[in-house]
Structure 1
């Protein structure tokens, strides 16, 4: 990464007139770190899917705005019954999917029933667990009845996993996504980019951009070079390293350091020895120096966390002192666990810089207390298969970017292999609680349980280091949801 600052000065000499367009332009090349495994947000857990298609290609009944607020989308308005059990959605009319088929209430029923079905492959199936029935009242009206009140229901319907799809195109959305959004899918050049273009028959306000290309650039140095040469116009989350201060001083670029929902964790396989021993997990927690990890993995811009919860949430509590950095305490705990001489394990690291660079630091810190880690770099598809799906790992580093997702710790078959009936009970109560203050208290209780159980090594909240051409406007400063919403993006000259 030390080469990035040197590259910054050198690359400026090669800046071509191509990056200084004459007059307003209507194309955009956006740099992203990871290539998605497919393009169907209703059938995969990878954030990289939503980062391309959410709000651009696919839409839900509601949508999440740039400040985390719930906004109307395919439902222009709705009513909620006094008991909080019935939601009547009034749908926009004249909406078509990109293949020309009409959108109506039957598509909503199909999508919600499909997502909550017993054989559903939706990665966030729990979002739909409160739904008892979905009834088509007429082509423009849908009534959803819940089994119990759910305070987060409208927010849940704004997730990428809840977008509305058509039965005609749902089977092929992984390769050729067909939605109702302002952009339609054009092309996927495997290993290189995904291109979308303006959908001329869009029901809402037309977008300014005619085309947008999402270019996959996992290497940090290559990202900076692409930005400086003008090959890429914007990085929603640039891996800039030590080059960031100089980029910030360059008037050609806008730099926005925002917040994300990304809890970056040292994930631990709780179902595998010796990590099934609480003392071992506590030792790991005491061995971690968050400030050093943040400095090396995110240029010092991350916010330390002590549990799986965003500091931006009003229910957040600071639990970073639950297991403060204390290598001697870590060694003592290992001795109490019968591992006075330490042990060896593997650390599987996906491509993002926060994982690869942070992993080196974590390995060094754990080595100081007697835990020797073999670092195994894996590609994103390998991580999804080996770690997330098959739970074939000891330790890994990943950022969970789904909003307000502490409930994953209650899932029976989740890759942490964590099981605590007390935590599950809190989640069950939260599911049926609508009162904001009671929900806040329950969230705080949940944070304390997983912090004290040292389920994972809670590191930091991933910052959003947005860098783009200074003539661009409309890109999000923060990331309340895993998305690169291009609907308001335009060139100012």
Structure 2
């Protein structure tokens, strides 16, 4: 029983020893090689290197995956279940008309450089996010804030111009974290926050290093890790090799579903399949022909067998969707039956729209694995209804953001939208879909006019129906969270209501 735990040479040695000597060897081995006792260092792998480290000035989710809840914190936070929790604001009160939010702030909080956090610094962070010169990727979150009062260091009062039902939730996002007046300008390359970890170093192209904040304000949290290194490994094969070699301890978002089974016989590793908000959609430029015709968009949607896309792009690991909503979201409606796979009906719709012989167009496909794989499956399906789709590889994020988000110089693209509860993107003007529907826009407005969750759910159900029928984008699937990490690690999020690598409660088992 005992010797079977060890490799053959060790077994033969034990067999040659007396019973007492063998037991001594076993005892010494257990002392010399504890599971992970005393270990406080973590090497964590990521597929995409962030373009900067300040989530309040740029949109790529990789920024928040390094710094949100680790370096930077917000007035409130979002937990693994997607619920809003107090953070730098310990409590709040909302006036009956929904126009005044009064926050009571934590005391004794300092930024990593020693600067004090109080209502004045909170006001600075919010004014910076909502100001005329703001480059905050979610500037719209703060648009309804008309003025901010700081009656004392512990009290922050937001006066709104209109009711904003999602405000508290939005204040928990990476784009809403608190930054200090002295350090804000350099946060992109040297982030300074109030969080449990301090920034140490960024070796571009390789890694970002963080260290435990020994002066962390939250006495209710016991941070176990002394040092964390984020390693950037783009190639899935290299990710798998790094995990198996022990060069990284965890990859919370493993990039190759087809390799997940390769870890099943490794006793050191565990695999986790969780939920995300990553909605893979093929967005169309609704202002360009032929995509300005709803019949064409509907035909393309009906030409796609979503499960075949999931099988081909993500090894069958994913959930088909028919609108811009995930099964995790409150009020989710399964809309995949609105325009189900039906190539013959798709052909009839194309003919009705004036394209009996189909047409040719180009899809801009970013280099993330799911995109070209999905595009290739779609390409074959479109060919069956006489439509030719050319695939143009597009570097992400820089080239894709410029061509699609900024210049709208595209016909179709494919990307995973990571923002939770972001159905409102179809009402944004400008936004890359160039989709305009006054009825839909009115629904989005009504969601913010109420703080009643039940009413918000009912309104969002109607919004889902409109998108499912109008198809401003081809709704494909929700990607799962594929995690692989050392079995002795605990505290990593298995689900992902917001893109993140929250390390506050991560520790090695003793």
TM-score by length of 1: 0.93
Q: Distance in 1 between matches of 2:72 and 2:434?
A: 32
Question: In the superposition, relative to structure 1, how do residues 186 and 142 fare at CA in structure 2: closer, same or farther (>3 Å)?
Answer: same
User: Corresponding residue for 1:101?
Assistant: 115
Aligned length: 475
Q: Which runs of 5+ in 1 are unaligned?
A: 1-18
Q: Give 1:471 deviation, angstroms.
A: 0.5
Larger mean Cα displacement after TM superposition, 420-429 or 197-206: 197-206
Instruction: Please say if 1:342 is aligned against 2:350.
Output: no
Structural mapping, 1:277-292, within 5 Å: 277-292=293-308
Q: Distance in 1 between matches of 2:179 and 2:124?
A: 8
Identify which of 377, 398, 421 aligns with 1:404.
Answer: 421
Question: In the superposition, relative to structure 1, how do residues 356 and 189 fare at CA in structure 2: closer, same or farther (>3 Å)?
Answer: farther
Q: Give 1:176 deviation, angstroms.
A: 1.6
User: Corresponding residue for 2:4?
Assistant: none
User: Corresponding residue for 2:411?
Assistant: 394
From the CA coordinates, give the structure whose radius of gyration is larger.
2
Q: Which runs of 5+ in 2 are unaligned?
A: 1-32
Q: Distance in 2 between matches of 1:81 and 1:325?
A: 49
What's the secondary structure of 1:121's corresponding residue? Answer: coil
What's the secondary structure of 1:135's corresponding residue? Answer: strand
User: Corresponding residue for 1:265?
Assistant: 281
User: What is the CA RMSD across the aligned residues, in angstroms?
Assistant: 1.7
Q: Distance in 1 between matches of 2:66 and 2:457?
A: 32
Alignment check: 8 A CA contact 1:241 1:299 kept = yes
Q: Give 1:293 deviation, angstroms.
A: 0.9
User: Corresponding residue for 1:147?
Assistant: 161
Q: Give 1:185 deviation, angstroms.
A: 1.5
Structural mapping, 1:48-447, within 5 Å: 48-204=62-218, 205-380=221-396, 381-447=398-464
What's the secondary structure of 1:260's corresponding residue? Answer: coil
Q: Give 1:22 deviation, angstroms.
A: 5.7
TM-score by length of 2: 0.90
User: Corresponding residue for 1:483?
Assistant: 500
Alignment check: 8 A CA contact 2:36 2:488 kept = no
Deviating 4+ runs (over 4 angstroms): 19-22
Q: Deviations over 1:330-364 (max 9, x none)?
A: 22222222222222222222232221222221222
Q: Give 1:113 deviation, angstroms.
A: 1.6
Q: Distance in 2 between matches of 1:454 and 1:193?
A: 40
Q: Give 1:21 deviation, angstroms.
A: 7.2
Q: Deviations over 1:203-226 (max 9, x none)?
A: 113421112122222222221111
Alignment check: 8 A CA contact 1:60 1:157 kept = yes
Q: Give 1:79 deviation, angstroms.
A: 2.1
Larger mean Cα displacement after TM superposition, 30-39 or 408-417: 30-39
Alignment check: 8 A CA contact 1:62 1:72 kept = yes
Q: Give 1:379 deviation, angstroms.
A: 2.3
